[in-house]
Structure 1
């Protein structure tokens, strides 16, 4: 017998409480301790009773529930028993009214001099809370979790009569209020700072679109077909027709923005065509200032002061409440008889019954009289309760943004954003413009971009949870089951857990309501928005989640097929069910599989998950031998993590490997130590920490020789050679690289690791020889290095092509350099190697600058540099700064050029001199253009010194050319001829074909 959606989710254990997303308001009386000293006990009790009456009157009015009143402090919750998308706004409105009411209270009895009256100080925060039933000691509810503590800490941070609300609880709704500047608070008991605002009062904002305008509208993208439909309807109304169009979409999809763009177009058309079309706006609210006939009364008030008003205007303004609907109907039809009218009502789903009756009457009356009237409404998807709201309207169902449109929106909001973060935003947002905007704001505020499990603020999560709360119980349970399965949902698995197959009415209803929909692959479903899945999962009770994860593991295993196809899924569900042994096993296997196919980001993720699971396996009674074996396994996985992260290393990776080195040292096995030191050296090299990495490499050599690890000894000369090459010690680097290449060639056929090692060593020798001006030899080495990988999409292909692009730039072969750089960028993006992706992007931009003086080149190099910054690495970053210094110096942007000259030379102090000569040449150009020939010659001499340090023939030739062009060398015509001859000899003709940039 199949399970129903309700029975599929095992309920939380008795007494475990409900897991809810709540907004919490903590309000405390300011200075109460001092007052208790000078007030009589009876007077103090009377004051507390008056304070309690204020709390009990105001909090419920705004939809809150008082959880606890203790002395002069009060904790209220918003979102229980039903989460609402505006709970943060409700809590803030309640706080403002509470503060105003308490200021009006006058405590009984005599007051000391200097007493300024009663005030509160309040804090507002939202988050997941576990709710248990309360008692006399704990209050109406017992609230467990960090959110109540943070609300109390915010109240502590607030001064007398201040309200501090966290950004998470308000988000876009902060625009409904006048606030102080954004604060960053380090609260007691919280590891990370919290963004918050001081709430000063209410703003003159009535609807979410107005709040968005205050914040700053994002670029309007897409919607061409929908705009065309609206414009066609406007043409019909101008020609005398009565039409009603209803734009329908979920929250945040952009229906109001579309309507406003259309209304702007309609106003411009009326102004330019001389054909009057009067526009009326109204909106509906879910609470607060909502009143019967709200949108029509807003339109009526906007007509106050209208020139040459019809008689019906005064009648409507002075009508009795019972006659108001008839008077408004008469007014709107009278206006339509004069000229075409366009009536827009926003958030129709919240309209009161009187407004809906009047809207339908207006449409019917205007149609009977053939009046030129266009009715436009915007509303959420229809539910059983709202089915008749826009009945009779021509519905425009507004879909989420297409992938191209969403990418454009993300690019506008994160112009220098990491492309991997941008892709993550698109995946989570699912084309919802509001989600895109909020995730981009979150990514911009977080140095590491989006953090797993923290991809939405509480106010946005409340919006999602409020949608779930409006589902039928069977549908809501089904969504929670699907969320535990994951963002992609095999239909067979959902049916096994819930009894609902792909064609079940409940599943199809969830597609209509924009939750889950059929994926491109048959037999799979997918959440429309990844952020929706994350929010629903987080709000599902722990015991319910763990029970489902255990069932999913059983079903996946019983499904059959090779277990190797399921390692990643089994690892995830095992970890979520706290089965750490199985989680470590499957995550390690999944990491190995991902590494084998060069899916490096997935390999890193799985290896890190395996390491975390091993940590959880530690127990107090673990034997010494078990601990040793677990540590050795930990070190082995960390070494493979090193292999996965060399193309995209971060400081976090380095910290993991340092811990592995400490464990290996404690173990004492020379082979274990040697390989850990090797990966420490390699990852340190990938992060530009050349000096320290050389020390680790030498230690690895010593340990490998001690234990006779011939395979590692074959790899180590290549690593040492690459490190010495990075430090510009070419004389030491080349013999090591030659030794490595000889060993690796003999082993290349035996394993993929050896082929990768050979490719790296050949690539490194190629760029060294290219730097020395031996370009033909360099390109032959690149060809050999690329042969096993060309077109494979492997990360090593991206790395080799990136260096090939650099050598082609040194040679002046701009177009070929751009092609190679584009391959590095594209393949780097595919394998999620940020270093090769970013460096390819930067190299292609500099090639475009050198080839055609592309004005956008500098910005693209800046973008690539910004992508790498959060990872904490600096390998060859002097390239970027040298390129930028060169571009800005030629463009005459002296300040920007000097900034990047300084950064390039700073990298030189860390043994990264690859961009040093270019930086000094840029400084020479600036000095020469400023008329300081002496200083310019000094910088040219320093550029030559860097070229000599690197034994770089191409740098020496380009420096000589610059000195001649700037007339810094004696007998400059002869010097120019000599420079050109040297460039021709080296095969660097591209530099001779570029125009000479004069000051």
Structure 2
């Protein structure tokens, strides 16, 4: 395998360098008015003073002035090198500039009401295209939206006010005193921007203190590492000298682990340990011997201090290291000492020399001293600054630990968002925390390629910027390939194989590492890949995508995977005809393999690519045909977005005028609406499909439609009309089931609908036989239709009071739904299982589990039979006596009735009766029970009638309660409703 250097060279980016920058825009407040009363010479002198401040203060904080125009200035932070604290630097610079300008006095006479000079400033970060400037454009020409937003923030700021976007600061906002987070609608921006007003510096020195100020995320995992630190503490207490170094990349949790251990060490009651803390900085207050001087200042005022303390405080800078060494050794002769230094990678040489001297001297004298340092890997120093320390390599969180962290930070978000966070974060606790905050703020999932805020992207880019050029180019090429990188493709593009030193070096630095599949590499953190990709220049990216498409087509591979990869790279290269072709082919293959989530993604990509092709009849018809297949892919997990696509397809079909095209589009519009629970509207579309299919004699569609209309009628509780249609559909589908998987799926779901209709009418034995037939071809294979059938089995078993069996079926629906990424079946499985747990054991967590399931479905626009969820939750809440919340769920269940979803209506009315009886309103309770009976009779539901009679008996309403109890017991025994019979017998 070759080990030649990176050989691929993209064409140069003619438009300039694509950089992640933080921009500071400052302007003098009220300058127009001042120009009116100031002499021109005085105004020019004032501007010269301003420029002198700009030119002195901005570079001091690591920024560069892009241009000065009149009294305004635009500065950039992160050029030529991106730093993780660029947002903090820009804010520090703004604060210093504001303070300095407040101290300026303009020359010449001033009006009596003149309040002094002030600036107003805006800070924002983002991707910017940087060109070399000229006399007209300033030092740099900055192209992109970020400079405009910084200017808009400055415009929005009042006199002596600094507004910084949350994008630019993130966690670093905790280093400052700010006003509350607020949303700002800026001119020219479609969505509001989250921002802070910065008032001054906070009393925060370390990043950990900033995290504490915001609120620490839950501490997860790290049991092995804590045990190793505890063993080291034992060795310290036994009189040993040792040095432990915790090493890991940024955000992996070195400081948090250290703080957890130090808190434990400080609680040692049997033998005290004196703890000294220090940290190193790359910026601002950094000074020689910084961490040791921090320890010295913390010792000020120490009672019974050794004389070495005074000597260390009074020593000259040249002798300070010797004095500090003597002090720490003197303290170690009295008590075991634990010296902790964070961020050792930024330590100055004097601090490193003192650290090594301290370890050697204490060891020679046999003193109890534990040196604990935390640092990041240093590419330029393979051994790091702590080469002779005992190393604790801190890995990212395991998949289980990361899932626990996400669950604690996003307790009510759906599991698909949680899995996306895990995929992007790769076990990095900081990334997990920030992506969870982003998902919570957005109220939805993470978009494709989302890399969270600019300040977090700066953290990633600063790591890439410190890599040797060969490794940095490898990372950028790998990022364009994707999150998973075939080794052969990387070698074809760069000449570097899996064992190339540069590739191995990237693995040690947590960029890319071997995937579980042989012959593949993977980014350790998806967010790293996203950030690197976005920071790669457009022309370089597109050249790489074109080259990758060529290599993939030449190399070949599995058709399905090849089409997906080619669709992605062709679209990124703006080759829209090829992108549409490959995405459509990939969608068809995924649909044939029942990989419905992948099929949806590819069909949507194909539709997006078609938008870039010339308009015409053929393109519009192709768009409609792909939309129809999208409808087929989303029947088990539909969303309002899917429905909008089908509605647009219907309008295109109507404009085309082809009856066959219209009929099939109406059919899928009906089916997607049915999946979303919009039964009333879907019945109208289904009827239109029937009429149009009859006009064009579309026999295949006419054979499908009885099943669809039967399912819709069943969902609307029109059972007398539903059953004949379902029977006809089952007859037709049985004949065709052997011919295609689609027919087998249709037959299974028609059987499922027939089973639950019969169960609702009290024919439970017949229903379970039909469920068994429906499941037979799919049981245990993890197909989406299995999740739907098991979800309905769970509901039927709940009707029977067979709680344990219902929970088992619900668990299968939830698990399979998660596997196939069907949020509807996943959520309904969770809700059914939770209600079963409540009925069986009174599980207190059941309420929250159903609340979560309802929340998961809300962004998708609800779902079929969602009145179940509201009815179950209303029953729990009414039993618990939470009247307000219960009434809300009753109202939501009854609202579903407007779309003909009455499956949870009787439950909701019974919950309302409980609430009324609880407050002594007998008449209202009786009325609600009457409504519950009516809701059950509408479905001819024997089990609903029996349960309503039981509730009437439990509430002791009127003189008939004993007769109601006898009726309920008899019906429960006849129908085999075991759990309810047990409950009735206990009265």
Which TM-score band (shorter chain)? over 0.9
* Normalised TM-score (structure 1): 0.97
2: CA distance, partners of 1:247 / 1:792: 45
Residue 239 of structure 1 corresponds to which residue in structure 2?
A: 238
1:501 aligned residue: 497
Is 1:394 aligned to residue 398 of structure 2?
no
**Is the contact made by 1:65 and 1:80 (CA closer than 8 Å) also made in structure 2?**
yes
Q: Does the 8 Å CA contact 1:102/1:120 hold for their aligned counterparts?
A: yes
Instruction: Tell me whether 1:611 sits opposite 2:607 in the alignment.
Output: yes
Matched, 1:70 2:85: no
Superposed CA deviations along residues 492-523 of structure 1, whole A, max 9, x for unmatched, are: 11111101111011110111111111111211
Distance in 2 (CA, whole Å) between partners of 1:2 and 1:668 is 60
8 Å CA contact 1:11–1:544 kept in 2: the answer is: yes
1:462 paired with 2:430, answer: no
Q: 1:117-173, CA deviations, whole angstroms, 9 ceiling, x for partnerless residues?
A: 111111111111111111112111111111111111111221111111111111111
Decide whether the 8 Å contact of 1:9 with 1:547 is kept in 2.
Answer: no
The Cα shift of 1:995 comes to: 7.7
Is the alpha carbon distance of 1:166 and 1:2 closer, same or farther for their aligned partners in structure 2, counting shifts above 3 Å? same
Post-superposition Cα deviations, 1:658-696, rounded to whole Å, max 9, x if no partner, equal: 111111111111000111111111111111222221111
2:930 is the alignment partner of 1:941: yes
> In 2, distance between residues paired with 1:113 and 1:760?
84
| Other structure's SS at 2:22 match | strand
CA deviation after TM superposition for structure 1 residue 353, in Å: 0.9
Q: Which runs of 5+ in 2 are unaligned?
A: none
Q: Which residue is 2:417 aligned to?
A: 421
In the other structure, the counterpart of 2:881 is 892
8 Å Cα contact 1:813-1:990 kept in structure 2 = yes
Q: Is the 8 A contact 1:614 1:634 kept in 2?
A: yes
Aligned equivalent of 1:316: 312
> 2 CA distance for matches of 1:208 and 1:686?
48
Q: 1:589 to 1:956 in 2, by over 3 A?
A: same
Structure 2-normalised TM-score? 0.98
**Residue equivalent to 2:94:** 95
Alignment of 1:281-430 (within 5 A): 281-385=277-381, 387=383, 389-430=385-426
Whole-angstrom distance in 1 between the partners of 2:451 and 2:388: 39
Q: How does 1:283-682 map to 2 (within 5 A)?
A: 283-385=279-381, 387=383, 389-561=385-557, 563-618=559-614, 627-682=616-671
1:786 shift after superposition: 1.5
Q: Give the aligned length.
A: 987
| Distance in 2, Cα, partners of 1:388 & 1:968 | 79
CA distance in structure 1 between the partners assigned to 2:896 and 2:162 by the alignment: 47
CA distance in 1 between partners of 2:2 and 2:428 (Å): 35
1:271-326 Cα distance to aligned partner (Å, 9 max, x none): x22x1110010000011011111111111111112111111111111211111111
Aligned match of 2:914: 925
Task: Provide the C-alpha distance between the structure 1 equivalents of 2:178 and 2:758, rounded to a whole number of angstroms.
Answer: 61
Per-residue deviation, 1:6: 4.5
Structure 2: how far apart are the matches of 1:931 and 1:996?
25
1:385 offset after TM fit, Å? 4.5
Deviation at 1:733, TM superposition (A): 2.1
Q: How far off its partner does 1:760 sit? A: 1.7
Runs of 4 or more, structure 1, over 6 Å off, are: 995-998
Residue 216 (structure 1) aligns with: 215
Deviates more, 1:775-784 or 1:301-310: 775-784
Aligned partners of 2:3 and 2:501 also within 8 Å: no
Q: Is residue 955 from structure 1 mapped to residue 951 from structure 2 by the alignment?
A: no
Q: Who is 1:12 aligned against?
A: 12
Q: Is the 8 A contact 1:5 1:477 kept in 2?
A: no
Give, in angstroms, the shift of residue 410 of structure 1.
0.8
Aligned 1:43-192 pairs, distance under 5 A: 43-192=42-191
RMSD of Structure 2 on Structure 1 (CA): 1.6
Q: Contact 1:349/1:386 (CA < 8 Å) preserved in 2? A: no
State the distance in 2 between where 1:41 and 1:953 align. Answer: 94
1:743-784 CA-partner distances (Å, limit 9, x unpaired): 222222222222222222211121122112221222122122
2 CA distance for matches of 1:205 and 1:762? 65
Contact preservation (8 Å) 2:650, 2:662: yes
- Partners of 1:994 and 1:907 in 2: how far apart? 29
Runs of 5+ unmatched residues, structure 1: none
**SS across alignment from 1:359:** helix
- Alpha-carbon distance change, 995 to 946 in structure 1, aligned in 2, over 3 angstroms: closer
Question: Residue 805 of structure 1 aligns to a residue in which SS?
Answer: helix
Distance 1:432 1:260 in 2: 18
- Residues 64 and 17 from structure 1, CA distance in 2 versus in 1: closer, same or farther, beyond 3 angstroms? same
Distance in 1 between residues matched to 2:726 and 2:185, nearest whole Å: 51
Contact 2:3–2:497 (Cα < 8 Å) also in 1: no
Superimposed CA distance per residue, residues 43-62 of structure 1 (whole angstroms, 9 cap, x where no aligned partner)? 22222111111111111111
The 3-state SS of whatever aligns with 1:757 is helix
* Distance (whole Å) between structure 2 residues aligned to residue 769 and residue 33 of structure 1: 81
Q: Mark the CA change 1:917 to 1:801 in structure 2 (over 3 Å): closer, same or farther.
A: same
Could you say which residue in structure 2 is the equivalent of 1:259? 258
Deviation at 1:265, TM superposition (A): 0.7
Structure 1 residue 724 displacement after superposition? 2.0
**1:882–1:900 Cα contact (<8 Å) kept:** yes
Counterpart Cα distance in 2 of 1:723 and 1:9: 59
Native 8 Å contact 2:868 2:904 kept in 1: yes
Render the CA deviation track for 1:696-719: whole Å, top value 9, x for unaligned: 111111111111111111111221
Distance 2:601 2:696 in 1: 32
2:851 counterpart of 1:855 = no
Asked whether 1:203 is paired with 2:199, we answer: no
> Could you tell me which residue of structure 1 aligns to residue 761 of structure 2?
772
Following the alignment from structure 1 to structure 2, what is the Cα–Cα distance between the partners of residues 105 and 730? 84
Choose from 677, 701, 724 the match for 1:712: 701
8 A Cα contact 2:6 2:496, kept in partner: no
Report the secondary structure of 1:8's partner residue: coil
Measured in 1, the distance between the counterparts of 2:556 and 2:100 equals 66
Query: 8 Å contact 2:946–2:967 — kept in the other structure?
Result: no
Q: Is the 8 A contact 2:556 2:562 kept in 1?
A: no
Q: 1:2 Cα deviation (Å)? A: 7.8
1:67·1:141 contact (CA, 8 Å) conserved in 2? Answer: yes
What secondary structure is seen at the aligned counterpart in 1 of 2:513? Answer: strand
Distance 1:208 1:349 in 2: 15
Q: Which moved more, 1:72-81 or 1:4-13?
A: 4-13
